[in-house]
Amino acid sequence: MQDKIEQLKSKLAQAFADIHSSESLFQTKMKYLGKTGEISELMKGMRDIPKEERPEAGKIINALRAWAEEKFADLDRTLKEIELNKQYKKEAVDVTLPGNRQPSGAYHPNTLVRRELISIFSGMGFTVFEGPEIETDYYNFTALNTPKDHPARDMQDTFYITDDLLLRTQTSAGQIRVMEKCKPPIKILSPGKVYRSDDDATHSPMFSQMEGLVVDKGITLCDLKGMLDEFARKIFGEGVKTRLRPSYFPFTEPSVEVDVSCFECGGKGCRLCKGTGWIEVLGAGMVNRHVLEGCGVDPEEYSGFAFGMGIERIAMLKYGINNMKLLFEGDVRFLKQFKG
């Protein structure tokens, strides 16, 4: 019996050494530990040995079984680990390969600036109004205190469609449409395309403006300044200041040009601000009382301010775009830079 066990043990040791896969492990395990396996057969052979030797033999066989089972379990763990490592190796990825991306498109720079402006001003209570691009002479000029013989008409080269219809030269035209319909308090933003007969590196026959209008009781030039300070800080950065200079627009009185301190050099003077420390960004003023009257708003009771800026100009300043034409060419190398 003892010999048999020893024999089996060395056979098993040999068998273990020959196991190199889960498959052979399973088969070997069955061969020895299965129902008809050799160890099981040994157990069955107990009947043939004398009764008094049986407990001892049983002990020995059970020890052998336990030893074999543990050995198989060890082997199983080892094999699994080897196989897992093989799988790891096989599945390994060069993590420096480029990722699979869902390329998103991009917004036109004007859209980005327009959204930023609207978000700044809507927080201050402005609603957005869009008027028609083809306007009447009345809304574009006459109602804005610019009658037919007014020299200010020469300030803007206008595209005409008929004697009375034209491509609006300024989004201010929208002001009148709003004031005719709504009673104060009015706070509107009027963004949109405008057209002037100009075509060079800094002028385009089509461009976009954003007009702002506030009409209520007791509105002052200081309120205009305060609002523009806020705007300048939000769009160009903390610390940017505004400066007012006298100017002239027929529909505002007093009228001002508004400069912001150069956000590139902090006002020390650089190429962007042409060494002056200031950058002209918009025109503004207190709404002319003729304009208010013309819209049925009593200038004795109400006052207001208006401001207007070129969206392309802001975009060019903000993103450092050097030629306005780029904005209208649709070159994808340009467009893809504005992921927003």
Partner 1 sequence: MKLPLSWLKEYVDVDISPGEVTECEPIEGTHLHVCKVDCGESGELQICCGADNVRKGIKAPVALIGATVYATAQDHVTVEGVMTIKKGKLRGVDSFGMLCSGAELGVNGDMYEGADYNGLLLLPASCKNGEDVKPILGLNDYIFDIALTANRPDCNSILGMAREVAAVLGKPLKEPAYTYSAKSGGKRVEVEVLAPDLCPRYIAHYVKDIAIAPSPQWLKRRLALCGLRSINNVVDITNYVLLEMGQPMHAFDFAKLENGKITVRRAYDKESIITLDGKTFELGGENLVICDGNKPCALAGIMGGENSEIKDDTRELLFEAAKFARDSVRKTSRALGQHSDSSATFERGVNEYTTERAMARALHLIEELGCGTVTNIHIDIKTPNSHDGAKKMTADMRKINGLLGIEIPIDKAVDILKRLNFGVTAAGDVLSLDVPPYREDIDGYADIAEELIREYGYDHVTGTFLNSARVTNGGYTPAQAAENAVKDKLVSLGMYEISTYSFYSEKDLDMLHFPANAAERRFIKIRNPIGEDLSVMRTTLMPSMLNVIVRNLKRGNTEGKLFEIANVYIPTDSPDGMPEERKMLCVGFFGNGNFLDIKGAIEDWAESLNEKFDFAAGSKPFLHPGITAIISCEGEEIGYVGKIDPKISEELSMEKKAFVAEIDYEKALSHAKPFKYKPLSRFPEVARDLALVADESITCARIESEIYAACKYVSDVKLFDIYAGSQIGENKKSMAYTVTFSPKDEALTPEKIDGFVKKILGNLKHNLNVELR
Among 227, 279, 281, 282, binds partner 1 (CB under 8 A): 227
- Write down the least CB distance from residue 280 to partner 1, Å: 13
Identify which of residues 25 and 315 has a Cβ nearer to partner 1 in the complex.
315
Q: Is residue 72 involved in binding partner 1 (CB under 8 A)?
A: no
Nearest distance from residue 296's CB to partner 1, in Å? 18
Query: Residue 28 or residue 255: which is nearer to partner 1 going by CB?
Result: 255
Among 96, 162, 238, 320, binds partner 1 (CB under 8 A): 162
C-beta separation of 145 from 170 below 8 A = no
Counting residues that bind partner 1 (by CB under 8 A) gives 87
- CA–CA separation, 250 and 60 (whole Å): 115
3-state secondary structure of 99: coil
Q: Which amino acid is at 167?
A: L
- Using rule CB under 8 A, residue 220 touches partner 1: yes
Q: What is the torsional sign of CA 280, 283, 286, 288?
A: positive
Of 5 and 265, CB closest to partner 1: 265
State whether residue 81 is helix, strand or coil: helix
Give CA–CA dist 13/71, Å, rounded: 9
| Least distance CB 246 / partner 1 (angstroms) | 4
Least Å from the CB of residue 99 to partner 1: 16
**Part in contact with partner 1 (CB under 8 A); list of ranges 47-55, 79-87, 169-177, 249-257:** 249-257
The verdict on 152 binding partner 1 (CB under 8 A) reads yes
When binding is defined by CB under 8 A, the residue of 33, 43, 128, 270 that contacts partner 1 is: 128
- End-to-end, the C-alpha distance of the chain in Å comes to 85
Look at residues 117, 179, 147, 135 and name the one whose alpha carbon lies nearest to residue 250.
Answer: 147
DSSP helix/strand/coil, 242: strand
Q: In whole angstroms, what is the distance from residue 299 CA to residue 290 CA? A: 8
Altogether, the residues listed in the chain come to a count of 340
Binding letters toward partner 1, positions 16-35, x by CB under 8 A: --------------------
